[in-house]
Amino acid sequence: MSEKFKAYQIGKGDDGQRCQLLELDDSDLMDGDVTVRVEYTTLNYKDGLALTGRSPIIRKFPLIPGIDFSGEVTASGHADFKPGDKVILNGFGVGEDHNGGYAQKARVSGDWLVPVPDGLDTRRAMAIGTAGYTAMLSVLALEDHGLEPGDGDVLVTGASGGVGSIAVAVLGKLGHRVVATTGRMHEKDFLTGLGAAEVLDRAEFADKPRPLAKERWSGAIDVAGGNTLANILSQMRRASAVAACGLAESMNLPTTVAPFILRGVTLYGIDSVMAPLARRKLAWQRLASDLDGKLLDELSFDLDFEDLPRAAADILDGKIRGRAIVKLP
């Protein structure tokens, strides 16, 4: 008889979806060739949408939510992993149409797993989580475009959140002059402590955008979309680039072709869900080397497993600063 384990499971009935903390067994797991004892998970914006039902993130019911986790392999039929290996998972539909990290046990495809790199442990890996991994993919896109320290100001929006805070910390450590935006100006000292040289109110980017505005940014990482991204595009310097990785403000993009054809601006879309394995490994290796461990500890905090449903609404309402680490009981 299989061992019981605790998990949040979201079901759907006539009255809508419902999240419950249950005891499950191996028959409730999905197909996969690697079984992992989950040690840590985290709370991301997408998890908040799934837990609250505010957006149709979950595509299969019943389902264990949680789009990322770290832990130890307990059984493996995959050539790259053996029992005792420490691993990270994020993306590939986990927590959306495959059981995710809000459980003490997970069974997944070994092709989705990344070994925990030297310099990180499973706890710090989830202090980074999908948000930090997405931030690093965005930094890599700007570097591939040719951005170097000293080129000029790099803008990071939503800097008090998970993606933005780690983007600020990484870019600052690499030597870039980072300008951060936030809707919580009382967090200015926190953001300058992470590495921001300047902090702007996000309201400065909320108005209807002009096709072109004064050139200000040599690079940008945007989590907002909507008018914010449109305004940023209009302010980009010639031949610069923006990495777009979120839609916290809006999925719409009310812009024109002017930034692209008159200034040669490039807009990179960051797909953290289905990024290829080589890119994932590079991102995690760079996070292990280019993210200050002490700063990472400062921008993360512990969240009780039992408090996940309550905290889900807080992350959607912009009430959570930094990264929430959840230790599995």
Residues paired with residue 11 on neighbouring β-strands, in sequence order = 18
Please state the length of the chain.
Answer: 329
pTM equals: 0.93
Q: What CATH homologous superfamily does 5-116+299-327 map to?
A: Medium-chain alcohol dehydrogenases, catalytic domain (3.90.180.10)
Coil, strand or helix at 151: coil
pLDDT tens digits for range 171-207: 999 999 999 999 999 999 999 999 999 999 999 999 9
Indicate the residue type of 39: E
CATH code, 130-269: 3.40.50.720
Question: 12-51 in b/e burial notation, b at 16+ Cβ within 10 A?
Answer: eeeeebebeebebeeebbeebebbbebbbbbbbbbbbbbb
Residue 57 contacts residue 96 (beta carbons within 8 Å): yes
Same fold flag, 5-116+299-327 and 130-269: no
Domain ranges across the chain: 5-116+299-327, 130-269
Distance (Å, whole) CA 272 – CA 173: 22
pLDDT in tens, the chain (329 residues): 578 999 999 999 888 889 999 999 999 999 999 999 999 999 998 999 999 998 888 989 999 999 999 999 999 999 999 999 999 999 999 999 999 999 999 999 999 999 999 999 999 999 999 999 999 999 999 999 999 999 999 999 999 988 999 999 999 999 999 999 999 999 999 999 999 999 999 999 999 999 999 999 999 999 999 999 999 999 999 999 999 999 989 999 999 999 999 999 999 999 999 999 999 999 999 999 999 988 888 889 999 999 999 999 999 888 888 789 999 99
Closest to 274 measured CA to CA, from 66, 143, 133: 133
Q: Which residue has the tokens 């921001």?
A: 196
Distance (Å, whole) CA 113 – CA 81: 9
Q: What share of the chain is helix, strand, coil (3-state, %, to 5)?
A: 35, 30, 40
Helices in 39-184 by DSSP H: which ranges?
45-52, 122-145, 162-174
Distance (Å, whole) CA 165 – CA 68: 18
Coil, strand or helix at 324: strand
Phi and psi at residue 199, in whole multiples of 5°? -125, 130
Phi and psi at residue 321, in whole multiples of 5°? -105, 130
- In this structure, the number of other CB atoms found within 10 A of the CB of residue 212 comes to 16
Residues paired with residue 9 on neighbouring β-strands, in sequence order = 20
What DSSP letter does each residue of 246-308 carry, written as one string? --SS-S-----SHHHHHS--EEEE---SS--HHHHHHHHHHHHHHS-HHHHHHTEEE--GGGH
Closest to 321 measured CA to CA, from 159, 168, 195: 159
Q: Which residue has the tokens 């914006």?
A: 45
Q: How far is CA 266 from CA 42, 211, 235, 244, 288, in A?
A: 32, 15, 12, 11, 28
pLDDT tens digits for range 252-301: 999 999 999 999 999 999 999 999 999 999 999 999 999 998 888 888 99
Distance (Å, whole) CA 37 – CA 197: 41
Distance (Å, whole) CA 60 – CA 99: 9
